[in-house]
Amino acid sequence: MNWYKDTPEIKLRLENPLMKHIVELKEHGFADALKYDYAPVDVEDALDNYDRVLEIVGDISENVIAPNSEGVDRTGPSCSGGRAHYAPGTAENLEICRQAGLTAIEMPRRYGGLNMPSTIFCAASELISRADAGFQNLLGLQSCACTLYEFGTDDQRDRFITRVCNGETMSMDLTEPDAGSDLQSVALKATFDEAANCWRLNGVKRFITNGDSDIHLVLARSEEGTTDGRGLSMFIYDKREGGVTVRRIEDKMGIHGSPTCELVYNNAKAELCGDRRLGLIKYVMSLMNAARLGIAAQSVGISSAALQEALSYAADRKQFGKTIDNFPAVYEMIAMIKAKLEASRSLLYETANFVDIYKSLEDIARERTLTPEERQECKRYSRLADALTPLAKGMSSEFANQNAYDCIQIHGGSGFMRDYLCERLYRDARITSIYEGTTQLQVVAAIRYVTNETYASMVEEMLSEALPAEFASRQERLREMLAKFRAATEAVTAVKDQDWLDFQARRLVEMAAHCVMGALLLRDAAKAPELLLKSADVYLAYAAAQVEGHSSFIKSSDPAMLSNYQA
């Protein structure tokens, strides 16, 4: 009756000791309680607030967004007069989320936000995405406000963040026809208009989600004559100023809930956000990290929908005199969907926790200097979050695709028909491993944490934590996986050849991910064996085999064979 309440696997992830610490960091002594009637007075009160807000999200997801999703998928957005128009269902979803006050979950109260951690935002994103991944994009773009908050001036925060809290939407305008994975080649031109004392933007952006939003963050080349990332700055474009039109919207395979726009900037007035030249190397990196976490949550939501669809269809459909969930081939697929989903969830919420710790400390640092211990904690969690984010985005999105595929398989011929939800899930899932950096680019981001041992020591640390006796053999299995991962890393890096490392990178990153996700899921399963132990065992069996496969591939390969792969 309420997706949040009916999914104890989500709440379990929110009931960990780190959450209490996060609340304390987010609430700085609960001073807001004196000023805002909705601010919590203590940790328990805050955790109860999180629960209640997620209950609202669970209700809206199940009872508004999900029922609208089929219509949205069929109708899609449209474009006319230089503007994008949402499908009617999308517009309704957005209005309901505004009424529920969910448009600025993470923003501080002084702007009108709820001051909740990213972890809670991720849980909300997961729930919404289970209903409609495309719509989750629109709501998810509120995380652009975090970047504005981090790098904008006080005046910019006052003017723009308040509007987001009141329900205005945002977009991040990075990609161009010739700058996709390679954002260093962004060419949209920013020039300073001395007469009007403002910046002017000219050029084209492509594939911009919610490109007709109220407030845009735009990556543009402000430094004439430069060609690399250091010539790029970040700008704020306010739709009220005019100057940007939607030339077309893309006719996409999935996520019809979110319009993907091609934008033409024609002398559009804009203001600089932060310092010149730091647009890509600092601000967009931060923006993308938040957005990647959002896609990880989106992917988890799709996997969760796939699981529900698979379960209910398989329990209903009869062949050879019994329901198909009695056949090992079918129940294995269902168990695998659940295992991949739960492994993704464990990683998602762990990453979000780490993000919360360092971002909250960074925020405290805006008011006072941090103690040396705090500074160290901030650094530590920032590094861990940076390491886990590409794993979470990369793995969860690939798993969402696999899960949607298996979900169709479980439906047989019916799954190929548009009558069943799984067909849309399959199309919606496909984008998750492409935008916000393709899986290949996540590997590029993650590989340094393979070679510098970050992942390995994380897993080692988790394995040193005491778990109940019956987990000993499972931990032993993880230790063996870790040993294989380390040996494979060593074998690849010993060659000292960049192409070779790039070639093996995905295998190494996946091995790391299986160890990390396996350890995290095992830890969560120890807390709630009745919910997760089976999935943890299913996942470990699968992960061990994957690690073994990659290990054997790496062992039996050598750089000479690279040429076989080249045309």
Ligand X SMILES: Cc1cc2nc3c(=O)[nH]c(=O)nc-3n(C[C@H](O)[C@H](O)[C@@H](O)COP(=O)(O)OP(=O)(O)OC[C@H]3O[C@@H](n4cnc5c(N)ncnc54)[C@H](O)[C@@H]3O)c2cc1C
Q: Which residues bind ligand X (CB under 6 A)?
A: 171-175, 180-181, 207-209, 252, 260, 431, 434-438, 440-441, 444
Q: Is the dihedral of CA 363, 368, 370, 371 positive or negative?
A: negative
Residue from 125, 167, 119, 140 nearest 20 by CA: 119
Contact 393, 511 (CB under 8 A): no
Residue 123 touching other proteins (CB under 8 A):
no
38 binds, among ligand X, other proteins, none (CB under 5 to 8 A by kind): other proteins
| Residue from 25, 47, 49, 72 in contact with other proteins (CB under 8 A) | 49
Residue 404 touching other proteins (CB under 8 A):
no
Q: Token digits for 116? A: 């909740």
Q: Token digits for 88? A: 């009617």
Residue from 459, 348, 325, 349 nearest 400 by CA: 348
Q: Token digits for 146? A: 């975090």
Place of tokens 């799984």: 422
Gap between the Cα atoms of 442 and 389, Å rounded: 9
3-class DSSP state of 218: strand
* Backbone angles phi and psi of 226, in degrees to 5: -85, 160
* Residue closer to ligand X, measured from CB, 199 or 207: 207
User: Which range binds other proteins by CB under 8 A, 96-104, 312-320, 336-344, 472-480?
Assistant: 96-104
463 binds, among ligand X, other proteins, none (CB under 5 to 8 A by kind): none
Q: How far is the CB of 175 from ligand X (least distance, A)?
A: 3
* Residue closer to ligand X, measured from CB, 255 or 522: 255
| Residue from 40, 231, 390, 394 in contact with other proteins (CB under 8 A) | 40
40 binds, among ligand X, other proteins, none (CB under 5 to 8 A by kind): other proteins
440 binds, among ligand X, other proteins, none (CB under 5 to 8 A by kind): ligand X
Residue 59 touching other proteins (CB under 8 A):
yes
- 369 CB-near residues (< 8 Å, 6+ apart): none
64 binds, among ligand X, other proteins, none (CB under 5 to 8 A by kind): other proteins
| Residue from 10, 22, 65, 102 in contact with other proteins (CB under 8 A) | 102
Q: Token digits for 372? A: 């040396």
Q: How far is the CB of 206 from ligand X (least distance, A)?
A: 7
Q: How far is the CB of 339 from ligand X (least distance, A)?
A: 26
The DSSP annotation for 78-138 comes to EEETTEEE--HHHHHHHHHHHHTT-TTSSS-GGGT-----HHHHHHHHHHHHHH-HHHHHH
Paired with 319 in beta bridges are: 322
Q: How far is the CB of 252 from ligand X (least distance, A)?
A: 6
User: Which range binds other proteins by CB under 8 A, 45-53, 200-208, 382-390, 452-460?
Assistant: 45-53
Q: How far is the CB of 317 from ligand X (least distance, A)?
A: 33
How many Cα atoms within 13 Å fall on the side-chain side of residue 148? Answer: 34
H-run or E-run covering 240 = none
52 binds, among other proteins, ligand X, none (CB under 5 to 8 A by kind): other proteins
* Residue closer to other proteins, measured from CB, 99 or 267: 99
The DSSP annotation for 285-335 comes to HHHHHHHHHHHHHHHHHHHHHHHHHHHHHHHH-EETTEEGGGSHHHHHHHH
53 binds, among other proteins, ligand X, none (CB under 5 to 8 A by kind): other proteins
Gap between the Cα atoms of 49 and 46, Å rounded: 5
Residue 101 touching other proteins (CB under 8 A):
yes
Q: How far is the CB of 212 from other proteins (least distance, A)?
A: 25
Residue 27 touching other proteins (CB under 8 A):
no
Q: How far is the CB of 78 from other proteins (least distance, A)?
A: 25
Q: How far is the CB of 451 from ligand X (least distance, A)?
A: 16
User: Which residue type does 110 have?
Assistant: R
Binding site for other proteins (CB under 8 A): 37-40, 48-49, 52-53, 56, 59-60, 64, 96, 99-102, 114
